[in-house]
Amino acid sequence: MNIALWIITGLLTALYLFSGFGKLFVPREKMAQMANAARWVLDFKPGTLKAIGALEVLGAVGLILPALLGIAPILVPLAASGLTLIMTGAVIMRIRRGETKAALGDGGYLALAAFVAIGRFVLEPFTG
């Protein structure tokens, strides 16, 4: 279980770092042109997108850094819980926009983040 949690945590960290930095540094008009599934960014103000991106980067750092450094490892399941909340909002937004396939993808990320949260709170916590 511990190995599975580390693998999923690593994948989620990479995903949220990439996604978060994209929201922080790529203009939303350019992001919207990248794919049909990215047009949702036009529904939000640039400041809101930057806030979402910053939360994703902070969540990604919180998924891995506390455990690697052994400093406040309780932050790992808390970060996973925060990312679960972000992805819940993403799924709701996709459903409202009628983007079923994208909602399923976001739901997959939601499930993985929830698995890490539950895994590190209950199944394989870092603290005794």
Domain limits, the chain: 1-122
What pLDDT sits at residue 36? 83
pLDDT digits (tens, 9 = 90+) for 66-89: 999 999 999 999 999 999 999 999
> Which pLDDT does position 12 carry in this prediction?
98
* pLDDT interval class at 128 (50, 70, 90): low
d(CA 98, CA 79): 29
More confident residue, 92 or 124: 92
Rounded Cα distance between 44 and 51, Å, is: 11
pLDDT tens profile 21-64: 999 999 999 999 998 888 999 999 999 999 999 999 999 999 99
Contacts from 44-49 at CB under 8 Å and sequence distance 24+?
Answer: 49/23
Q: Which amino acid is at 16?
A: Y
Mean pLDDT on 80-99: 96
